[in-house]
Structures are given as C-alpha cells and as structure tokens.
Amino acid sequence: MGLPEYSPEVLKNADEIELENIIRQLDTRLKRARYDGPEYKLIERQLEEIRHGSPLGRMLMEEYENGGMPY
C-alpha cells in the first residue's frame, strides 16, 4: 500500500503543520550553520530521522527537497 497522493487543496492536520514548522526551522538553522561543522551534521541527522521516521515525514521531506513546501 503506497502513500496517498499529496494535494495542496487538502486541509492539513495539526501533526502535518507541526512537522512542516520543524522542517522549516531546521532548514533555517542548516543555512546558518557552518558547512560540515558539528551543528550542520546534527541538523542533517535530524532531517534524515524525520525522513525515515514516518510516512508523513517522508512525504514532507520529499516536498521540501523538491521546493514544494511554501514558506
């Protein structure tokens, strides 16, 4: 059984909104961190944990990487 198709018209639940906010915060911190420094590596690990932690996390990370997550 695959993931449901994402549609921006579908209302988001609280879990999705919270996870999107966390991804945005991590993205902002990642952009400010020194490349390949300890904080940068920690943030990368956190983003990977989100990706592999749940189907919702995987879907949101794919959306984020494809530039589809609105800011």
Check pLDDT > 90 for residue 39.
yes
Write the DSSP string, 3-70. Answer: PPPP-TTSPPPHHHHHHHHHHHHHHHHHHHSPTTSHHHHHHHHHHHHHHHH-HHHHHHHHHHHTT-S-
Tell me the pTM: 0.76
What integer pLDDT is reported at residue 23 of this predicted model? 94
Instruction: Give tens-digit pLDDT for 42-58.
Output: 999 999 999 999 999 99
Distance CA 19, CA 33 (A): 21
Tell me how far apart the alpha carbons of residues 21 and 15 are, in angstroms, rounded to a whole number: 10
Per-residue model confidence (pLDDT) at position 35: 95
